[in-house]
Each structure stands twice: as structure tokens, then as C-alpha cells.
Chains A and B, each alone.
Chain A
Amino acid sequence: MAVGASQLTNYSKRFAQIAALLIFLILTGCSIIPPVLSDYGPSPSPLELVDTPFYSQQEFQCGPAALMTVLTASGVETTLADVSRQVYLPARQGSLQSEMLAASRAAERVPYVLVPTLSSITGELATGRPVLVLLNLGVSWLPRWHYAVVVGADADREQIILRSGTDERRVMDASVFLRTWRRSDFWAVSLLRPGELPANPDRSRYIEAVAGLEQTGHPQAARDAWQAGLSIWPDNAVLIFGLANAQYALGNLSAAELLYLDMLRGDAASLIARNNLAMTLVAQGRNRDALEQIDSALELADGSPLLEELLDTQRIILSAVNGASN
């Protein structure tokens, strides 16, 4: 009996040590020094988008509620039930980040993933756009993922104001916000109307967001967004290519042709521009011009990963030539 009791005590001691460590980790959130707002870049004077709508979440449905908030703030007319149908995953009782972006595209909005700094959030707030964020309210080994919408920041009081879950105006200490946001790798998204630019635009993030719209079949939104991008990066070949592709998809073939030619003036060896130019020409019935373009592309295509694609284009043009001569 005595031996058994002492073994139990040893076991309990070890358990106590582990439990104490766990509680320490929970309380500290695995970080010792609390971050402050000023560590994350200069913050403007207190700012709150008080008109941002609020949709209280139903059980586990913070994703749909938060997305509904930013969609409505961006002028999209929809319902919580419809948003839920697009992003809620019943068996996971939650919503995936990529599906939150996908549903924004479905609503013809550009889901721009912000540069992970607090100033990029406050920049969006200053232009009147609330920001969708993913937080981990738990800790890394016991995560509690939560979507919320940042609607305000107050650097003097070190506070962040959110539409969150069932709280219409959740005031969070900046240090808590920054810790919980950091655990999601600072995931934050602003929904841009096509044609709007982010407050602090990052070119590659912007291109990725707009290319996603093009890829998922929203050429009109993509066109407006590429045009906005070209207003600040006028000579960028990717943006010109993107706009040309959007014009092609919309059937504006002569506009597309001019843009591909523009791109080829910058880089005569661009296979993607020449391939798409050839496709644009054949779509206009200008088969000989098209053949000329694709042949000059094929001369440069030795060992290119695009070779198969170029040969496909050549076949399409040749069959158009044969069809016309019959």
C-alpha cells in the first residue's frame, strides 16, 4: 500500500509539473513580451468604420458571418444563408481560407491578401474598407481558428475594434489581437471592387489576386482590375498580358491584339504573347497573319515548356486555313 501511494505521489508530481507548464503556456500564449501597436508600424489617429454592418454568427459560422460583413461593406447584395452555402463546411464546422477567397471571386470582388503588417490593415481602414482577418484564439497546439472583421484601430488606447462572432463591437487589446493574428501568419484580406486599388499596393499580391479572377471565369472584373493596376504600374508586362487576356475573353479582339503587340514591342521573344496574338488573329479570320506569328514563335521554342501549347495553336490555325480553302 505504502509503495503504491508513493508511486502515485511521484506520478502526481510529474503530472503537476506538466500541468503547470501547460497552464503557463496557455496564459502566455507561448510569447513572453507583449507586442504593441507601434511595433507594427506607424498607426494613424483613432479610426473606426462605425457604419460597417454586423451579422451575428450562428454556431460555428464565424466564416460566413465575417465574409457577409465585408461583402456587404463592399456593396455586394447577398444573404447570410447564401454566403454560408458557399463557405461553410459542415463536417469541419468551419470555413477554409481558400473558400473565403473563392466566394469573394464569385461576388466579383478582388480578394487582396494584405502584406502582413498592421499598417496595411489601418491603410485599408483609412480608405473605408474593413478587413477580414483570421485569428487563432487558442494556441498552436490547441488552435481555435476564428474569422473576424477589423473595423477600427486606436493606437492611443492600444485597441483594435472588431465585428466578431456574436459581438457587434468587440474591443480587443492590441497585444491580444497581434498575438492571435500572428498565429494565423497574419492572414488578412481586403475585398476590392474591380477598379479599386489597395491602400498600400504590393504588385505581386495584386497580380495574384486578379489572375485568380481571370482563372475562375470573371473576365469583366479582371479587366477592370488589370486596368487599375496599369494606372500605377504602366509598363508591367504581366499586367498588359492580363488585360489582353481579359479583352480576348470578353471578345474584344482588336483591343487584345493591340495589347499583345504592345507586349511584344517590350520583349519580341515572348512566346506567351506571340501565341495568344496568333490565337487572337485566327479568331478574327486572319489566318495567314496568325500562321506567320505562330511560326516565328515556334522558331524560338526549342526546349520550351510551352512547346506543346504552341503546336496546339499551330494545329488550330492550320485547320482554320484548310477550312477556309475548302
Chain B
Amino acid sequence: MFPRFIQVVQHLKNLERSILLSLFGHPPKELALAVSVNQQPKPTPKAFSIHDLIGDGFLLAVPKFRRTVEKRLNRKFGWPEYVWKPFVPKTNLKTCHECGHHHEQGRLCGNCYKKIGKETKEIQGEILKKLGSGPIEQDVIVLYEGETLPDQQKEFWKGKRIVEMKKERPQWFSKNLLQKSTQQPSKSTDVKPTDLA
């Protein structure tokens, strides 16, 4: 701030001087002091050229004034309320119950999602292949290799299309998902024999 102020004052002074000189010219020579000086032949002044200074080199743009410490630090680290440049530790990380990887709170676990997404894409591909381009009129049930239709009420299977995957069911993809919502409440009083084998 201060160097810039001094520079402005200097400019104003120069301006004032040049204006006064142009208006009134130099004071008359009669008012000058009479001093006897040994007159020596003056060397004729050469016209100034920038090439005398730099020769073959070139000039770079350079800072005119010094930056203050505060400015320099702000540029380096930012300001906490606006843009804070250094890394900040995250406090919203959780451990996934399924696989133990870390994930952000309120978001899916990256590891589990990758696994599920891959399986989802495979199933989607199979379904698209099976359905083709005709009108889609049936809901889809996905069965894996070696699986048979679980014994359900016949109404449940009516009007459903079965899509078979050419691999075994992944261990983490529970089979019970199919049975949960559709299981009929049993009315029979028979008790199934257990521990036969």
C-alpha cells in the first residue's frame, strides 16, 4: 500500500513540473547565478536504446511491489470460511457391516456396490436377451444353475417368465429373497420330521 502511494505522489509531482514548464518555460537567464566554469567540450549524448541494457537477452515481466505476508499466506492456504486449501480429515466414515470396508455415511459401500453392480449387469443382460423386442407382458424370475422352481402355490408362478443364469448363485445373494414376500401362511398342523439323516 505505502510504496504504491509514494509512487502516485511522485507521478503527480512530475506532472505538475511538466505542466508548469510547458506553460511558463524556464526562468529568464538574467536571474541565473553567474558562475565561471571551465568550459569543456561536452560529449554528445547518445540516444537511449533498450538494446544497450539487455543486448541479446530478453526481459521478463517482474513484480513491481512486494506482497505482504498476509497476502502470501492467504494465497497459499486459503481462508477456512471460504476456500481452505489444505486437506481436511473426513469424520463421516463408517465400516461396512458386510465386508468391513470403509464408506461414507449415508452412501453405499463401494466394495459391496461393485460386487452387486456386476451381478446386476449380468442379470440385466440375460433378461434383455430373453425378452427380446416383443411386448413385455410377464414379470421375470431369475434362477441360477442347478436351481429348480421352489415349491410355491401355482398362482405365484402363473404368468411369470423364468430367466436362467448360466452360473451358480453367488453365496451372498440369498435365495430366501424369492420366498420372503410370497410365502403363504401355512394352515396345516402336520409337523415335518427332522433329523432323519
- Chain B associates with chain A: no
Binding site for A on B (CB under 8 A): none
